[in-house]
Amino acid sequence: MTVLVTGGAGYIGSHMVHALVEAGEGVVVIDNLSTGFSAFLPEGVPLFIGDAGDENLVAGVIAQHKIESIIHFAGSIVVPDSVRDPLGYYRNNTMTTRSLLNAAVKGGVNRFIFSSTAAVYGNPDQVPVPEHAPTRPASPYGSSKLMTEIMLHDVASAHGMNYVVLRYFNVAGADPKLRTGQSTPAATHLIKVACETALGKRPKMDVFGTDYPTPDGTCIRDYIHVSDLARAHSSALAYLRRGGKSMTFNCGYGRGASVFEVVDAVKRASGRDFPVEISGSRPGDPAALVANVDRIRAILDWRPQFQDLDTIVAHALAWERRLPGKQTAVA
């Protein structure tokens, strides 16, 4: 049985590919390498350079490698970019998945795992946020993912496909063995930005808003280690293979850390102080976004191994030190 991983050379996708290979799975990757890196894939894993929305390419891969499951990571993920370029996000996220699903249905693939996001909830009424909370995306990014969830539900109902939707909260960290990590230039992830600043790759970092109704005034987010997230996908795949019904799961730890807590953790791990500039709040940023994880813990055989902010930061910092760029002490 072979698993197709779209976006498998990207940040989360490459961790997934390593996890599958370690488990003895057959794996094939499709990635256009717009944000991914072929060097981060395990040796010997077939890589098809192209778009996950290219139905001819996907159909050929499904037939050639006898694909039985698809794990779909490929897509665009930066919220401010989606506001500037909504049509690009609907193309890269929603339309690409429509084409991928069409090829999957024609190729007889009946298991599908989709990389979704907590952004589908928008500014939630309830924290921690359960999966049944109202979905009110506040950005084209969140809307493009929610549209895909709806489409996946309808396709699965019509064609006998079983799926798992995993709604990520804030993914961070890096492979503990330092085989792969977050490497995209100009990344916007808070922990990566703080690590880059600690190593002198940025002159400063911004904190957007200190007037939220939280203990220290900064936003609170549920940070999940990328390796634990990959493990959640493996558990979802096992669940579907056991005949599990289609289901949506939050992926987080059920507790959050504030922006200032993240900054302090990076300063501790790096042993360096660095400039932090306070900027205005960003429109649409929820004060707190934390996952209710009762469902995933009850239904999937998933046991996180790195649910500690200091561990997540330590792995992210270790990976950042391996990447090129200026690394100097900051007063």
* Contact (CB, 8 A) for 151 and 100: no
Catalytic pick among 11, 90, 121, 141: 141
Q: Give the tokens for residue 181.
A: 């990590």
The answer to whether residue 141 is catalytic is: yes
DSSP string, 288-309: EE-B--HHHHHHS----S---H
Q: List, in order, residues 6 or more apart from 245 with CB less than 8 Å away.
A: 162
SS3 153: helix
Phi, psi of 55 (to 5 degrees): -65, -35
Q: Give the tokens for residue 2.
A: 């072979």
| Cα–Cα distance measured from residue 307 to residue 80, given in angstroms and rounded to the nearest whole number | 28
* Contact (CB, 8 A) for 7 and 36: yes
Determine what percent of the chain falls in helix, strand and coil, rounding each to the nearest 5: 40, 20, 40
Residues carrying an active site annotation? 141
